[in-house]
Chain A
Amino acid sequence: MHPPSSMTPVAPQPDAATAPIAPRSFDQVIASYQPVIGLETHIELGTRTKMFCGCAAAFGDEPNTNICPVCLGLPGALPVANAAAVESAILIGLALNCSIASWCRFARKNYFYPDMPKNFQISQYDEPLCFDGWLDVRLPGDSVDIDGNVEQPSSVRIEIERVHMEEDTGKSLHVGGATGRIHGATHSLVDYNRAGIPLVEIVTKPITGTGERAPEVARAYATQLRDVIRALGVSDVRMEQGSMRCDVNTSLQPIGASEWGTRTETKNVNSLRSVERAVRSEMCRQAGVLDAGIRIVQETRHFHEDTGQTTSGRSKEEATDYRYFPEPDLVPLAPETAWVDSLRERLPELSAEKLARLQTEWGLTDKDMAAVLGAGAVQLIAATIAAGATAEVARKWWLGELARRANADGVELEGLAITPKQVAEVQQLVDRGSLNDKLARQAIEGVLAGEGEPGQVVAARGLEVVSDTDTLGAAVDAAIAANAEVAQKVRDGKVAAAGALVGAVMKTTKGQADAQTVCTLILERLSAS
């Protein structure tokens, strides 16, 4: 219901109430407060054309090449709704277990801002297309309670308030300021290619009672919502490209209090990981403010990816008076039951059932499956298996080495510069005995560094496993000579001591020796002598 942050002038607010106050630690927040969160998610639909005109709905085209009288708001131009966009919105509503309105209207949301040339945005107001739904969100159960019991994976039902349709806004480029920001800019340049692209906004009801898991719940919801919409095929739902945008509402209720606290709305949250970080940091900030005896201002805040903190935007109390009224240029939407039913039949296997099937196929425990969901790795693992890897191996790579890399780089798994096919190829080299685990990790590293396909990386870096017994024999002899005491222990029957010799050979061969061959050679030599 609320516009993207760019829509309403953002007046800098003196952040006096927050700047000098240190945030609380997360544990301190949880000791005194119960968080209430809510998410408003905008999804850009993947239709060929815009919501109300035939201009291409494309990403990355030359500025102002996909514009026409309708999306420019030229006098006399009349919008006509895109049937595919309406169907996509209904599909999303059905997938989220919503009721579909039998009759609803579009509304004009009036505001002055150059990102909409009409001076209003066509949206929906009190008559959303879809309403009263829910999404069951699975949480990983990895925390351990005080008795040492591992908490079991659990499921939280997120209630969906509404799913409605609207049009996206243009993109502004601010010129003359220090960092391309609106503050201090001398003028702005506007590209209307995005203006009029169909958007669906999904609004949750307030989510209560999740306590310390609130940040995790927010991320799990956004992840699962993305997966559901991707499965529907109605959007590419890429947060880094802006085709999925999450605004996160957060408030704190003192434990024992009967009323909720004042909420803030955090925008500019551009990754699933940041959804979790934004809730966490806003909870800590609000607790610091409240503990200092200062009230929370109802306002829009902006999340900063680099610092993980939010800063104040405009104060909502003074800014919102959109004077919504029914859009006179469009007739109402009245989806007949037969139409909705035919769309229902088009729904792909829905999330919960599909996940249950995959979990069985992949042989995962509930806990493993929850970890896969939490990492947003379902599609990646499925694609890796499709490219020839086993389920176990695909899961190992994406949740192990690759998850570590993504985390270190601060990106989502799918943002890594490696495809499921390339992961499967590396694994095939392991299975063939050409690479061991250590070399495979180096091959992955090379692919991530842009050195080419796995085969090219292996060739260029000389990563092949050495199992040639002549070459290895020399290294084994050298290791035995250099570690006479260890060698004697092995001769005396302490076979386990051979591990140290294998390690020595690995070191001289830079990890490229085939460990099994080395071990055999050592035992041959030491039992024969």
Chain B
Amino acid sequence: MSTITRDEVAHLAHLARLAVTDDELDTFAVQLDVILSSVASIADVAADDILPTTHAVPLTNVLRADEPGTSLNRDTVLLAAPAAEGGRFRVPRILDAQE
């Protein structure tokens, strides 16, 4: 199987907003490679007559009626937020200063 590169790890880390050090790039590249090749071994037993499984339970059309349920109390919810202002969630600046 293909080997995962440092660049790929760095890209994934960026997408996941994880700060990864230079040394960790090497460590994770090796570890992710082990995971990927382990999972890839499924391909050895998967044959054309075995359909891909995307869900553990073979159900379809689990739907609910369009009827209102109970929403949470706003003040209670906002207590759990790191910061709130005027009934809204307060979040840090979205764009970096240099963007």
Contacts and interface: CB of A to CB of B under 8 A. Distances in A.
A82 B87 contact: no
A82 B69 CA distance: 12
Contacts of B69: 49, 53-55, 68
Interface of B: 11, 15, 17, 54-55, 57, 59-72, 74, 77-78, 85-95, 99
Nearest to B64: A80
Contacts of B94: 9, 113-114, 172, 174, 182, 185, 188
Q: Would you call the interface of chain A mostly helix, strand, loop, or mixed?
A: loop
Interface in A85-126: 85-86, 103, 105, 110, 112-114, 117
B70 A48 contact: no
Contact of A331 (B57, B67, B92): B57
Given A9-B95, A331-B57, A114 B89 contact: yes
A321 B16 CA distance: 11
A332 B87 CA distance: 36
B64 A332 contact: no
28 contacts: A9-B99, A11-B95, A49-B68, A49-B69, A54-B64, A54-B70, A54-B71, A55-B68, A62-B74, A63-B86, A66-B71, A67-B77, A68-B71, A83-B65, A84-B66, A110-B15, A174-B94, A189-B88, A189-B89, A190-B88, A191-B89, A323-B15, A328-B54, A331-B55, A331-B57, A331-B59, A334-B60, A335-B61
Give the size range of A's interface with the partner: 35 or more
Q: Would you call the interface of chain B mostly helix, strand, loop, or mixed?
A: loop
A10 interface: yes
B87 A64 contact: yes
Interface of A: 9-12, 47-49, 53-56, 62-69, 72, 80-86, 103, 105, 110, 112-114, 117, 172-174, 182-183, 185-192, 321, 323, 326, 328, 330-335
A91 to B, nearest CB: 14
Most buried by B among A47, A62, A67: A67
Contacts of A186: 93
